[in-house]
Structures are given as C-alpha cells and as structure tokens.
Structure 1
Amino acid sequence: MARAPLPKIGSFIIDRNGFLRLENRPVSVEIFELENEEIPTDIPRDCTYSTADSYAMSIIGIHENRLRHQPNAIKDVGDYIYQTSALTAMRTVLPSFFKRECRHGPFLFTLTDLHQSNIFVDKNWNITSLVDLEWASTRLVEMFRTPTWLTSKACDEIAEEGQEEYDKVRVEFMDKFTAEEEQAQSPASCNDDRKRRLSAAMKQNWDKGIFWYTLALASPTGIFRLFYKQIQPRFIMHNTDHDSFELIMPWYWAEDYLKVGMKKMSDREDYDIRLRHAFEATATSDTIISI
C-alpha cells in the first residue's frame, strides 16, 4: 500500500463519475470518536494537507479543542496547568521531529486502525484478510510506527514503564518487516534522488523519538503522559533545574488561558453533579424494579 508516494495528506473518495480521488480529509478513529462526543475538530470534510507541519498543527488543535469542550477534560487546576503546558510545548518542539526537507512528502497510503482484532490469519499465521479499511488514509512517513499493541499494553503504559519490554518485541518485528520489504523491494523516498526503505524510516522514527511524538498526536488519552515521559526528557537531559516549566509554559497556550481555566473548573463541577445524579437515578430505578 505504501509503495507509491501520493501528493497530499487525506483520504480517498469515489466521485459521482466513479473516479477515485484523494479529496477527503485524513480519517482516523480518534477524530470520529471525538466528534461523536460533540468535540469540534475544525477539519472540514474536504480538507486535505500539502505539508506535514500543517497537518500536525491541526491534530494539536484537536487536542486543544478536547480540552476546551470536553466537560470532564480536567480534574483540577493542577491538571489544567499540566495539560496546557504539554500542549504548548508540543507546538514548540514540532520542528524537531518533522524534517524540513520532507515537509512536502512523501505521503504514503496506510491503514490507521490496524490493531490485532482487525487482522485474520490462517493456521500458519499467514495474513488472509484485513477489516476496517474505511480508516485508510495517506500519512507522512514520520507517522509510520510499529504497532503499539505488540505487548498488549496501552501507549501511556509503554511510555512510563514498558519501553524496554516493548523495544525487544519491536526489534523482532522490524527484523521480520525489513526482510519482507527487501524481498518485495518496496522503497519510500524523501526526494527523487535519494531512495530509502520504509523500514529504515521507521527505525529512524524510533531512534530520534519521532515515534513518541507522532504517537502522542494520535492518542487523545495518552498525549500528556507520552509528552512528560518520552518527549520532554529529550530536551532537558542537560538541564538540572526545570522546575519553572509549569509556571511559564501554560501562559503561552492561549490568550484566554485564565478564562478557559475558570470555565473548565465550572464544567467539571457541573459534570460531577450530573454524573452523581445519573447514578442515583439508576440506583433508585433498580430498587423499584427489585421490589
């Protein structure tokens, strides 16, 4: 699927004349789940991207919208500071993970929801079929990663305490993948005059920490732990005094930082009240039925 570079980031549609066109926004399960929760993504259906950084900034914007619009997005003031500091830093460090020479591609077609329950194999473990193909879209090479489910742990668990275990399985996976790619001769190129294999790009993504950055972009629930455990340490390893980070960074998140913070505290209080009433109503209903 990733053999032919494509001109932009998006997903395919079949137009009224039956032609296949790359004219739909890049789809993913995470985006639709957030929209189902009435969180705006600000990515119109006909929106495609010609540069990697513009797409990445749109994804960061989705995380910021989740913080603004999800009623239970924060636990308390400390959590609000924790999240806004990370989101501000994610914007700041983006150029460190997306190479300027690959800003315009290659963009490659891939399945964005390829977890183990979507893969069918025969008795010899040969893949026979895949499902959930509707989540396929074109992505930048930096977003190609080994599957996070290799050790059956959530991405934030891997980031915090399971990296060594995951890396052992990842290396084994990459050895197999590299061998298959060499056999199939499937190159991915950053420039026309410099060919490289997708396996080499994926290895580089791991070695340079790009793996963790793009995984954070793809994980509404894991982005903050991924940032603090795997992304931030790469920038402060030579800084022994970094206690002022959360005193400074959140103020650069948005001009309405204080206003949003007060609203989020009110949202959380209202959410807790409604949740408690919902459980009380359920308990009362169960009691009546049992009588």
Structure 2
Amino acid sequence: MEYIDHVMDLGDALNIPEFTIKDRPILDPNMEGAKLELLHRQFADILLQLSTLQLPKIGSLVQIDDFTWEVTRRPLSYNPNELVRLGTLPRLELPMRNETFESSSSYFNRLADLHVDHLIHQQNDAIDSADDCRRRYVARMLFRKLAREGRFTESSTNLGPFNIWCDDLRPSNILINEDLQIVAVVDWEFTYVAPVEFSQSPPWSLLLEQLEYWPDGIEAWTKVYELRFQIFLKVLLEQEDVAIDRGILKEEQRLSGPMQQSWENGDFWVTYAARKSFAFDAVFWKKIDGRFFGHGTSNEDERWKERLDLLTDDEKANMKRLVEKKMETRTRVLAWEPDEIDLKIVS
C-alpha cells in the first residue's frame, strides 16, 4: 500500500493528550465540543456509506472480475482469528471455507456455537474453578438457546439484504490531516457482509477503549458511553438529513433510529457479546441474562445456579463431563491444535 499523507490517526486526536503509546486509549473528557462534533461527523459519514452497501448473503467478498464481487466465502471476522491465535481453538472448528449464511439467525447460531467451542478448547487460563466452569457453560448454553429460538433477530431483516461490516473499523485505523479532516481509512482485512444488527448497533469505539478493558468495569463504561453516544447520535442524525437532502441516502436507510433502539432495548449488548468471545461472560451476566430470563434473586456470580432448570438433561450431563475434563487439564502443556477433549460433549 502506498503511503498516505497524514499527521495522526483519529484515535490520537480523540485521546487524552498526555497519554503515551503505552497507555490504553480513553476519549479526552475535556475535548472541545466543536472539535468532537467535527470528528464524529466524519465518522458518521463513513458508517452511513458502509450501511448502504447491501448484499444477499452473509460472508466474505470474492472478486469475480473488474466490476463484480460476490459473497462466496465464510465471514473473515476478527473474533475467530483471535480464538485461533490466543484461545487455542482448532481451525477445524471455524466455519468451512466456502460456508456462507442465508439469514442473520443462522449466523448468530454459528457465533453462539463458537463461544461453546472456545470454552471446550481453551486451555490453562480458561477457568478459575469448577464453579467458574459451570457458570461459563450455563451462559453459553443460554446464549445458544436464545440464538436458536431466533431471539436476536427481526423477521423483517432476518433474510437480508445484509450490510458491509468491518470488525476493525476503529479510530486508530482512520487517518486525518492537520485540519482534522479524514484522508483515509486503513486495515480493512476483517471486512465482510454481516447481519443488519451489526450496522445498527452503536459503535463501541466512541470511547476509544473496549468496555471489557475499562478501568472501573462495564457499568462505569456504560455510564460514560451513554453521555457520549447522545452527542454522536445528534451528529449522526444531522448527517443523515444532509445525505437525504443530497439524494444519496433514503429515509429508510437512517441509522440513528435503529442505533438508539439497539442501545435502549439491549441489542447492543447482544451483538457485542456475539462478536467478542473474551468479553462474553461479563457482558452476558451483566447485560443479557436479566433481560431475557429475569433478574433472579442471586448475585451475579451465583445466578447461574438459578438457571440450571433451563438446561436440558443432556446439557446438564455434558456440563458434568466438561467440568471434570477441564479440571483434569488445567495445567497441561499447550498444544497448537488441541483435539484431546471430546468434541461431542456439548453438541
């Protein structure tokens, strides 16, 4: 790729000024409102442009000729790549190379299965105790149950068309010049056609830092994000109005309404948990379980015990086998392609 003339990336412009490359990024709380809106406005335009690119299947694009692209490969997404790289997930557990998805619900089902596969195969640091393993297992069974029941999708959009989506579209991959104008967006390798719910979910990157790494926890992240999201939503709505006036966006293609609904009804947490295996457990128990199954009487760490009645007899038996196997293999030497654990225990 040729060098693109720029002075910094969007993350640098939004970050706390005195932070260094060694510090985790956090949106500058003292940033001038006009500057923040200028940068948000351009980011909103990028999201709007991507959301108007629609295709009939979920998966990765393959170039057929100079003018034609088709969805013929599995989604090249960031999370499965990290599961193989860091979570000791065997590559054979990924979707087949030529596997595409005809519906959003089928893709959510596949993501739910990946969470289960991750728990089965991740070695050493996967669990802290037998109860921790049970808690993680119950969360994945319930999430998969919801996915299989179609609870994460709407019938009006389930069969497409679907939107272009990039898992790695974040401020550090957006280059700007000295006038704070975006000149390029780079690192598109994790780009694919995804469920509409992904595009309609508010961008987590408004605070720069992912919620699972926020210093004071998810609830603190949520409180700060709510304030910043309202600023972004205002700017997004204004950019939609401009695009509609110019004839490059249709009224029904607005993102502001669906994004606000996603945040208010909790769909944001579903799509985040579906796409991020290493944040799954915290997000599920804090934000998803109570929404679908009631808040219960136990604290968050013990609530899994109240949910055991929601599991089938086979799932309970499989949990017992998984816990025994996990406790036996907690400290074994890592393998590049682990295959010792019985892969049928949670099928």
Q: Give the TM-score band, short-chain normalised.
A: 0.7 to 0.9
Shift, 1:107, TM fit: 0.6
CA–CA distance in structure 1, aligned partners of residues 254 and 70 of structure 2: 26
Q: CA deviation at 1:188?
A: 7.4
Give unpaired runs (5+ residues) of structure 2.
1-49, 335-347
How far apart are residue 135 of structure 1 and its match? Answer: 1.2
Cα distance per residue 1:94-137 (max 9 Å; x no partner): 33331122210231112221122111112232211011112111
Offset of residue 254 of structure 1 = 6.7
Post-superposition shift, 1:183? 1.5
Q: 1:136 to 1:243 in 2, by over 3 A?
A: closer
Q: Which moved more, 1:92-101 or 1:9-18?
A: 9-18
What is the CA distance between 1:240 and its match in structure 2?
A: 4.5
Correspondent of 1:221 among 278, 284, 288 = 278
**Aligned counterpart, 2:59:** 10
Residue 24 of structure 1 corresponds to: 73
Distance in 2 (CA, whole Å) between partners of 1:114 and 1:204 is 22
Match of 1:79 in 2: 132
Q: Does the 8 Å CA contact 2:290/2:296 hold for their aligned counterparts?
A: no
Q: Aligned residue for 1:58?
A: 110
Amino acid at match of 1:58: R
> Is 1:148 matched up with 2:201?
no
Q: Give 1:249 deviation, angstroms.
A: 4.8
Is 1:266 matched with 2:321?
no
- Report what 1:168 is aligned to: 227
Residue in 1 that maps onto 2:34: none
After superposition, the Cα gap between the structure-2 partners of 1:255 and 1:102, relative to the gap in structure 1 and judged at 3 Å, is: farther
Contact 1:11 1:138 in 2 (8 A): yes
1:127-163 superposed Cα distances (whole Å, 9 cap, x missing partner): 1101111211111121123332322433234633321
The one-letter code sitting in structure 2 at the alignment partner of 1:26 is: P
CA distance in 2, matches of 1:164, 1:232: 19
* AA matched with 2:115: H
Structure 2: distance between partners of 1:2 and 1:196: 8
Cα offset, 1:63, TM superposition: 1.1
State the Cα RMSD in Å: 2.6
User: Matched residues in 1 for 2:253 and 2:283: separation?
Assistant: 28
Give the counterpart of 2:173 among 106, 118, 121.
118
Partner in structure 1 of residue 89 of structure 2:
39
- Residue 62 (structure 1) shift: 0.9
Query: CA 1:217–1:261 in 2, change beyond 3 Å: closer, same or farther?
Result: same
Normalising by the residue count of structure 2, what TM-score does the alignment of the two structures yield?
0.69
Secondary structure at the counterpart of residue 256 of structure 1: helix
Query: Retained in 2: the 8 A contact 1:51–1:105?
Result: yes
- CA 1:165 to 1:270, structure 2 compared with 1: closer, same or farther past 3 Å? same
Q: Are the counterparts in 2 of residues 98 and 142 from structure 1 also a CA contact under 8 Å?
A: yes
State the 1:197 CA deviation. Answer: 1.4
- Give the TM-score normalised by the residue count of structure 1: 0.82
Matched, 1:212 2:260: no
Identify the residue that residue 287 of structure 2 maps to in structure 1.
230
In structure 2, relative to structure 1, the CA distance for the partners of 1:235 and 1:60 (3 Å cut) is closer
**SS at 2:276's partner residue?**
coil
| 1:278 paired residue number | none
Q: Distance in 2 between matches of 1:60 and 1:129?
A: 34
Q: Which moved more, 1:155-164 or 1:82-91?
A: 155-164
Amino acid at match of 2:153: F
* Native 8 Å contact 1:106 1:188 kept in 2: no
Counterpart position of 2:18: none
Name the structure 1 match of 2:8.
none
- CA-CA distance at 1:24 after TM superposition: 1.3
Find the residue that maps to 1:222 and give its secondary structure: helix
For the residue of structure 2 that corresponds to 1:102, the secondary structure is coil
CA offset digits 1:232-268 (Å, max 9, x no partner): 2223557557674254356664753222221111221
